[in-house]
Structure 1
Amino acid sequence: MQQKKYKFDIFSIFSTLWAHYELIKQFTKREIASRYKGSLLGIVWSLITPIIMLFIYTFVFSEIFKSRWTVDNDNKLQFALIVYCGLIIFNIFAEVTTRAPSLILNNPNYVKKVIFPLEILPVVSMLSALFQGSISYIILIIGILINQGTISISLILLPILIIPFLLFLVGITWILAAFGVYFRDIGQIIGLAIQGIMLLTPIFYPISVVPDKYLMIYHLNPLVYIVEDTRKVLIWGQFPSWYSLSLSFLIGFVFFVIGYNFFKRTKGGFSDVI
C-alpha cells in the first residue's frame, strides 16, 4: 500500500495540537507525577529543589568566589539571583533537548499505534520541564522581593518573553526526536553541544564583557535573547528590547513550523526502524 504523502500546512500544526489538548494535559500530569513517584516527599521536591539550589548559588558566589555582576555593585544576593535567572532558562532548555533524541525510542508502544499522535510527545516533554521552571521562577521572584523590597510592574511581561522560547523548544525537540530514531549517536552529540551552549550563554557573566569580535557568535545563540530580556524584566525592572523580542518570536516560530513539518514527514518510517 502506498504511503500517503504529507503536505506542508501551517494551520494543521495548531489544529492538531488543539484537537489533542486533553491528551496532552493527561500525559503532562502523568509525566510530572512520574518524576517523584515513590519518593517520600513526592511533588514537594519540585519546590524544595529550587530553594536549595538558590541557597547554594548564593553561598558559592558570595562567600567562595566573592563575585560581583558589576564593579560598583557588591550585592551578593543579587548576583546569585542574576545567575539563577539565567540558569532557569538554561535548565529548561537542557532538560528538554537532552531527552529529545530518545523521546520516540523510549515509547515504542506508541509508535506501533497508528492512531496515536506522536507529535504531542515533544509538547508533553516541554510542558513537564516548564512546570519545574515555573516553580523556580516563583522562588526567584520571592528572592527578588526579599532583596529589593519590591517587584517591578515589568514582571507582567514575562509570559510574553517565554512564548517564543517555548515555540523554539518544541520545534527543536520535534527535529531532535525524529533524528534520534534514525541516528542513535545524536544523543551523545547533544550532550556535548549543551555544555558548549551553557558556556556561550551569558549565565555566569554579563554579555557586556564579551569582546566585540565574538558578539556575532552570541547573537546566533537563541538563548541569549531570552536570558537577557528575562533579566531586564525581573531583575532590573526594565522593558525588554523590542528588537530582540521580535527576533525571538521570529526564530521561535520558524523552528516551530519547520520542526513540526520535519517530524510529520519523517514519522512514517519510525515503525520500520524501531
Structure 2
Amino acid sequence: MRNIWKHSELIKQLAFRDIATRYKGSYLGVLWSVIIPFLMLTIYTFVFSVVFNARWNSGSTNKIEFALIIFSGMIVYNLFSEVANRSPGLVVGNVNYVKKVVFPLHILPVSVVLSTIINMLISVAILIIGLLIFGFGLHWTALLFPLVLLPLILFVLGLSWILSSLGVYLRDIGHVVGVLTSALMFLSPIFYPVSSIPNEFQFFYKINPISYVVEDTRQILIWGNLPNYQWIAIGTCLGLLFSFIGYKCFEKTRRGFADVL
C-alpha cells in the first residue's frame, strides 16, 4: 500500500491514458462504454427471458426487472473478466517500461484495475438511471456498494499481479484465462438466482468469490437489503492475503522480465 500511494499520481495518469487510448480513433469514443453494455444486456435479456422463458425467484414476470437484475451481475463480472483477460499481456505489451530500471512495474496492474473501475462506474450510473426511470427507486443501501466491491477489487488486484508476471514466461496463459473467464460467467449466479443451484453444486458457488459480490450487489442496489457482512469481512481478509501473495510473486519474478523480453 505504501508503494501504491507513493506512485498514486503516476497510477492515475496511466489509468486515464488507458481509457483515452481504448477509444482513440473511434467516432463514438467513450460512448462505446455505454453502448456495449446496453447491447449485451439486450441480447442476454432476450435469450434468457424470451427464448428460455427464464424468471427470477422474486415472483415478478417483469422483463425490465429481469434485465436490471442481469445487468447488475454483469457489472461485477465485467470488472473481474476485463482485468483477468488484460493482465497476461500487460508487461509484454509495455516492453519499454521493462527496460527502464527506475520505472515501478508493479503499478501497471494497479492502473488497469483503476481504469476498469472507472469504466465500471459508467455501467453503475446506467443501472441507477434505469432503476429510477422504471420506478424501482434508489435505496440508501446503494451507499454500501464500495464496501461490497472491496473484496473483489483486492482479489483481482492480486490476480492481475500473478497473471501479468506469468504472461511474460508463459504466453499461452492468455488463451487459458480467456476460456476460464467465459466459463466462469455461466458458473456464477448472473443469469440465475443462487437458490436454483442444486445442492450438490453449491460447493462451487461457495468457492467462487464473484458469486457473493454479485448477490450482495443485487441486494443493495435493486432490492434495498443489507449485504452479507460476514462474507465482506472474510472476503476482505482473503482479498488482502491474495493481493499480498500476488504482489510478492510479481516482485519475485520481475527480475527476469528484461532477459525474457
For residues 76-102 of structure 1, give each alpha carbon's deviation from its aligned partner in whole angstroms, at most 9, with x where no partner exists: 111111111111111111111011111
Q: How does 1:128-167 map to 2 (within 5 A)?
A: 128-167=115-154
- Conservation of the 8 A alpha-carbon contact between 1:62 and 1:77: no
- Conservation of the 8 A alpha-carbon contact between 1:222 and 1:251: no
Question: Normalising by the residue count of structure 2, what TM-score does the alignment of the two structures yield?
Answer: 0.95
The answer for the alignment partner of 2:25 in structure 1 is 38
The answer for the alignment partner of 1:208 in structure 2 is 195
Question: Normalising by the residue count of structure 1, what TM-score does the alignment of the two structures yield?
Answer: 0.90
1:55/1:200 CA distance change after superposition, 3 Å:
closer
- Conservation of the 8 A alpha-carbon contact between 1:67 and 1:76: no
1:113/1:182 CA distance change after superposition, 3 Å:
same
1:136/1:73 CA distance change after superposition, 3 Å:
same
| Aligned match for 1:197, one of 169, 174, 184 | 184
| Aligned match for 1:182, one of 169, 179, 182 | 169
- Conservation of the 8 A alpha-carbon contact between 1:225 and 1:248: no
For residues 193-252 of structure 1, give each alpha carbon's deviation from its aligned partner in whole angstroms, at most 9, with x where no partner exists: 112211210111101011112111111111011111111101111000111111221221
Identical-pair percentage? 48
The answer for the alignment partner of 2:260 in structure 1 is 273
Counterpart residue identity of residue 177, structure 2: I
- Conservation of the 8 A alpha-carbon contact between 1:61 and 1:76: no
Corresponding position: 1:98 with 2:56: no
Measured in 2, the distance between the counterparts of 1:71 and 1:177 equals: 41
State the 1:40 CA deviation.
Answer: 1.3
State the 1:180 CA deviation.
Answer: 0.9
The answer for the alignment partner of 1:11 in structure 2 is none
| Aligned match for 2:72, one of 79, 85, 91 | 85
Aligned residues: 261
Measured in 2, the distance between the counterparts of 1:68 and 1:198 equals: 18
Counterpart residue identity of residue 188, structure 2: T
| Aligned match for 1:217, one of 193, 199, 204 | 204
Corresponding position: 1:244 with 2:231: yes
| Aligned match for 1:170, one of 157, 176, 182 | 157
Measured in 1, the distance between the counterparts of 2:61 and 2:223 equals: 15
Greater CA deviation, 124-133 or 220-229? 124-133
SS at structure 2 position matched to 1:114: coil
1:75/1:158 CA distance change after superposition, 3 Å:
same
Structure 2: gaps (5+ residues): none
Measured in 2, the distance between the counterparts of 1:102 and 1:32 equals: 17
Measured in 1, the distance between the counterparts of 2:32 and 2:180 equals: 28
The answer for the alignment partner of 2:97 in structure 1 is 110
Whichever of the two has the greater Rg, that structure is: 1
Measured in 2, the distance between the counterparts of 1:151 and 1:29 equals: 29
Measured in 1, the distance between the counterparts of 2:133 and 2:190 equals: 22
Measured in 1, the distance between the counterparts of 2:86 and 2:36 equals: 20
What do you get for the CA RMSD once the two structures are aligned? 1.5
1:89/1:104 CA distance change after superposition, 3 Å:
same
Measured in 1, the distance between the counterparts of 2:170 and 2:39 equals: 38
Corresponding position: 1:234 with 2:221: yes
